[in-house]
Amino acid sequence: MNHQLENKRALITGGGRGIGAAITMRLAHEGVHVALTYVSKPDQANQTVKEAQALGVRAIAIQADSADAGAVVAAVEQTVGELGGIDILVNNAGVAVMAPIDDYRLEDFDRTMAVNLRAVFLATQAAVRHMQTGGRVITIGSCNAERMPFAGGAVYAMSKAGLVGLVKGLARDLGPRGITVNNIQPGPIDTDLNPADSDFAELMRNQMALPRYGSADEVAAMVAYLVGPEAGFITGASLTIDGGFTA
């Protein structure tokens, strides 16, 4: 722990597993009190909370579907109520439904936009009402905002590209209040939903400058830097961590 983030309070959406859990644990290691949201798999979310609590910080799990506007706002308010405020918001929750445009269902389109874009707007709007100077908002986007190398990913790519514009605009809105807003764009990362030992992973590695998948901890390290005081002059940026996938 470097103590620069000690006793800050953070909400990580989708923080119970994968990249979200890695972010939750990295912030807890830095002394940040953490709240996370999850939709399903409460056992995984509660295990992440227990591991964070073992580091000496307060930690809570909140069941909230990011497709539900009311649940998103309520999760922010519960975080503020139980942790005493909010200094850091990490909009990590996301969905990816891949299908050719001819077959793409409207309900999948609507859910993708609700989770990947609308929830980010809603959570940020709710959180910044409670943030002071030095507040940090992070979105977890995707390198697919810049490069979609296979068919079926148009809607997902659009939702992540939308974050780029949203973050730029929010940075302008919130800069005068001393709150920074940044977008992290991971490439292929080894998670249970996208394992590094799959046939698909081999296809991805062939398109990368570094022929390996990244780790969730590497993404979490970038988050930890951006929410810290040394990154206070970075805002409105989309920072790619993709092993050269978009190079």
Would you give the DSSP letter of residue 115? I
pLDDT of residue 192: 84
CA gap 62, 132 in Å, rounded: 23
Domains of the chain: 9-241 (3.40.50.720)
Using an 8 Å Cβ cutoff, are 7 and 28 in contact? no
Could you identify the residue written with the tokens 């993709």?
242
Amino acid, res. 208 = M
Active site residue 225: no
Please give the chain's pLDDT, 247 residues, in tens: 668 999 999 999 999 999 999 999 999 999 999 999 999 999 999 999 999 999 999 999 999 999 999 999 999 999 999 999 999 999 999 999 999 999 999 999 999 999 999 999 999 999 999 999 999 999 999 999 999 999 999 999 999 999 999 999 999 999 999 999 999 999 999 998 888 988 888 888 889 999 999 999 999 999 999 999 999 999 999 999 999 999 9
| 3 state SS of 54 | coil
Q: Please identify which of the residues 104, 156, 213, 225 carries the catalytic annotation.
A: 156
Would you give the DSSP letter of residue 102? G
**CB-count burial class (<10 Å; 0-12, 13-18, 19+) for 226:** buried
CA gap 245, 210 in Å, rounded: 8
State pTM to two decimals.
0.96
pLDDT of residue 1: 67
